A and B are shown apart, each in its own frame.
Chain A
Amino acid sequence: MYKSNPAKSLLPWLQSQLAESDDICLQKLESKEKKAQLFYIKSICDQAFIQDHLLIPFFETDSLHDYLSYIDNLFQTSSYISPEKTLNQLLHGSVVFISGMNIRLIDIRKVANTGISEAKIESTVQGPQNSFSEDIATNLNMIRDRYYQPSLKIENQEIGNQAPTPIAIIYDEKLVDPAVLESVNKRLAEIQGEMAIILSIGQLERHLSRRKRTMFPTIMLTERPDRVAYNLAQGKIAIVMQGNPFVLLVPSVFFDFMASMDDLYHTYWTSRFVVVLRYLGLFITITLPSLYVVSTAYNPELFRVQLAVTIAGSRISVPYPAFVEVFLMLLMMEFLTEASLRLPKMIGSTATTVGGLILGQAATEAALVSNIMVILIAAVAISNFVIPINAMGFAMRGVKYLLLFISTVFGMIGFIVGLVGIVAYLVHLDSFGQPYLKLFMKSSTDQEEITRVKEEQG
């Protein structure tokens, strides 16, 4: 280490690597016989920490030796490894301390967005109300604070070969399926090689799943710490990423996406009822438009005669065939949903009122669509929101068009084959080796087996 002293060349090298930015700060300290330099990026470092814990002690200690031992005892301090590593740490909020031949790196990262906010996307009625923050340390804290298990393991990694972002892989060592863990690690290593920069956890999710074009989500994104804790207890793996208020959960199967955390917090029959309601909603939202077309245009005998005559009456002034009518209204509904998603909250409600009430009313008055159509579309839209995880809700929004098309062309048989096809596709999917339609994530025998093998190895 003393053969070629890096202390002298490090600073000029770092400066040459960094662009000339105004927030880069080189501070020279001199007191009695002590001399030192602090090199850091102002905007991501905690200024107060530098003042209280680096500058003041510098002037209070007698010798450089005392001061160095003080610094070495700070838990943020790490020793110098290589210039590249130093540059990376500098970019993540470390101070480079150089004094003579001594180099120390002190991590004093300041994160502005550590605030914990209320869960907005997966809100529950009776459960915990807070969601993850955008800071990885806060999030890890929140997870640890909900899952008190000695076997909980956190592995820190970085992803992206150009601008690495810290991620953490969290799992219960006793419960995790080693095969899944291995494939996750393998996949992460592959991404590390392929991707220059990963900005959001959604992007990571897309690259984690092997299929490039898929309709249904196979990895869950959640903002709820209690869901993460619950899934860790089931032996799943959570991936946390710096700067993202969401956590990835792998493997995730279809039924995970249909579960709300509230199911665990309500009384038994209430939650059963809600679950049944949810699947009913799912069924309605995918099938209702196609069932309408099938039963009005192919098999009107499905209705009772009273309803058949009424529907015929309400459609009599509509100039377009039923499938065009359905498609027009569905499209209108999608525009409304999409618009109210993107709009600020204040305007959002106006948009839905204008769209929902006025458009629906006017369309019927103008005889562009039938009255029954409006009811149907409203039912489809509402029941779509019954699906608790948005990713699945979005997926199902697409599925109904597929079914509508096939039913329009082939009638009832097309509808049935379409439904069978959807189920077949779901069966064929998998999430990190777990069948997508698997009902129970882990049977107790599986669990015991894994624990036993682990104990033998350990």
Chain B
Amino acid sequence: MRGFKLLMVCLFFLLAGCGYKDIDKRFFVVAIGVDKSNSDHGKYKITFKVAIPPDKPSAKSNEAEIITTDSDSMTEAVRITRAQLDKEIDFSHTKAIIFGQSLVQKENVSEIIDWFVRRRDIQRIAYTGVGSPTALEVLKVRPAFERLPGNSLFLYFGRSGTEAPYVITEPLFDFYRRIKEKGIDPVLPIIQAEGDKYSILSSAIFKNYRMNLTLNDLESEILNSFLGRLKKTDFKIQANGESFFVFADSVKLNYDLLAGEKPTIHIHCKMSVTIEESKQTLALEKMHQLQILTEQEIRKNVLKLVKKFQQANVDPIGFGLRYRGSHLNNQTEWQKWEDIYPEIEFTMKAEVKVRGTGSIY
């Protein structure tokens, strides 16, 4: 009995996964870029950004090795890249996956993403994005303020650094979910490489596994609020010859789906703002008027955006998923929604509370 117990304990150790490999004998791939290949070696041009560790911990070093391979599949690309490096390639810290713009416009993205979601060692929290002009260009960027290779991108998307309102964060698991799920479409940030800086202003919406629609900065910002990922932002209000900026420290955008005789999506917006900048003198008596102007402007912009989605027949907010979730006729619901969506009516109520005109009186 004792021997048996001992044996059982020893069997535990067979569960030990990968073998012993020191951390300094590994090359950490911090970002992977996938582009469309022009050569005849393969369909894809796959780029690995491999971090070169700094000699001294205090030293600034965002040195990285960029390795590009043409291949038909990720597996082959990894195999070829292995031959070019003297240490074991390690994907456990791959936290950015960039798809080239020209690739996702034409190729089926679910085919490319397959390798990423199948590999155990790629973290599902890796950030995804569209690289413009190419993923390779994005990976090559080395901002002067970056301390470690790839860290800049992680700070952008991780929300531990910047809180820029245009940056849409899309982790791999959510991207994959949106690809597979009916009624909600993927949206990825477009990362623009500009010299030694990134610029993340616009975003791309996918439909049928391909990039379908591009959103500009204001639209990305509103979508971000819709997705509940944005708490603080600012808006430009321009109406009746007046122009001023409001800073919103709390934005709540949600909607009701009323699928009755006449299907309607009713959007509520609650916002608490202060005036941040103004071209004219603002009188305290005009506060109420400012509030109305702001409400109108917000209403106009939001409705414009959702109608744009409707026209392009894309659904990044997930109205369709909400419909499916609240209707229990599994066979027909999706067909029905596809009929409803192009005709659905949008109404909106914006409640803005102007809390002040800033710290000048």
Which residues does A use to contact B, with CB under 8 Å? 296-301, 305-306, 308-318, 321-322, 371-372, 408-414, 417, 421
| Complex Cα spacing A160 to B30, Å | 70
B21 near A312 with CB under 8 A, answer: no
B55 near A316 with CB under 8 A, answer: yes
B173 within 8 A of A: no
A301 near B23 with CB under 8 A, answer: no
- Chain B residues within an 8 Å CB radius of A413: 12-13, 15-17
Of A309, A411, A413, which is in contact with the most chain B CB atoms at under 10 Å from its CB? A309
B22 near A315 with CB under 8 A, answer: yes
B189 within 8 A of A: no
| Given A298-B20, A308-B23, A309-B28, 8 further pairs, Cβ under 8 A | A296-B23, A299-B92, A300-B28, A308-B28, A312-B23, A315-B22, A316-B24, A372-B57
Count, A-B residue pairs, CB within 8 A: 97
A314 near B26 with CB under 8 A, answer: no
- Chain B residues within an 8 Å CB radius of A305: 28, 30, 51, 93, 95, 148, 150-151, 154
Q: Which of B15, B23, B53, B92 makes the CB contact (< 8 A) with A297?
A: B23
Which residues does B use to contact A, with CB under 8 Å? 9, 12-13, 15-18, 20-24, 26, 28, 30, 51, 53-57, 61, 90, 92-93, 95, 121, 123, 147-151, 154
| Complex Cα spacing A125 to B230, Å | 52
Min distance, Cβ B204 to any Cβ of chain A, angstroms: 25
Q: Name the residue of chain A whose CB is nearest to the CB of B18.
A: A298
- Chain B residues within an 8 Å CB radius of A313: 24, 53-57, 61
Min distance, Cβ B295 to any Cβ of chain A, angstroms: 43
| Complex Cα spacing A385 to B303, Å | 66
- Chain A residues within an 8 Å CB radius of B12: 413, 417
| Complex Cα spacing A267 to B9, Å | 45
A417 near B13 with CB under 8 A, answer: yes
B18 near A315 with CB under 8 A, answer: no
Q: Name the residue of chain A whose CB is nearest to the CB of B20.
A: A297
- Chain A residues within an 8 Å CB radius of B55: 313, 316-317
B17 near A300 with CB under 8 A, answer: no
Closest 4 CB pairs of A and B: A313-B53, A301-B92, A296-B23, A315-B24
| Complex Cα spacing A317 to B22, Å | 12
Min distance, Cβ B147 to any Cβ of chain A, angstroms: 8
Q: Name the residue of chain B whose CB is nearest to the CB of A315.
A: B24
B148 near A306 with CB under 8 A, answer: yes
A310 near B53 with CB under 8 A, answer: yes
Q: Name the residue of chain B whose CB is nearest to the CB of A292.
A: B23
- Chain A residues within an 8 Å CB radius of B30: 305
Once A305-B30, A305-B151 are accepted as A-B contacts, the answer to whether A310 and B54 lie under 8 Å apart by CB is yes
- Chain A residues within an 8 Å CB radius of B53: 309-310, 312-313, 316
- Chain B residues within an 8 Å CB radius of A316: 24, 53, 55
A300 near B57 with CB under 8 A, answer: no
20 contacts between A and B (CB under 8 A): A298-B17, A298-B18, A300-B90, A301-B93, A305-B30, A305-B93, A305-B151, A306-B148, A306-B151, A309-B53, A309-B149, A313-B53, A313-B61, A317-B55, A408-B20, A410-B16, A411-B17, A413-B15, A414-B16, A417-B13
Of B16, B22, B149, which is in contact with the most chain A CB atoms at under 10 Å from its CB? B22
| Complex Cα spacing A408 to B16, Å | 11
Min distance, Cβ A297 to any Cβ of chain B, angstroms: 5
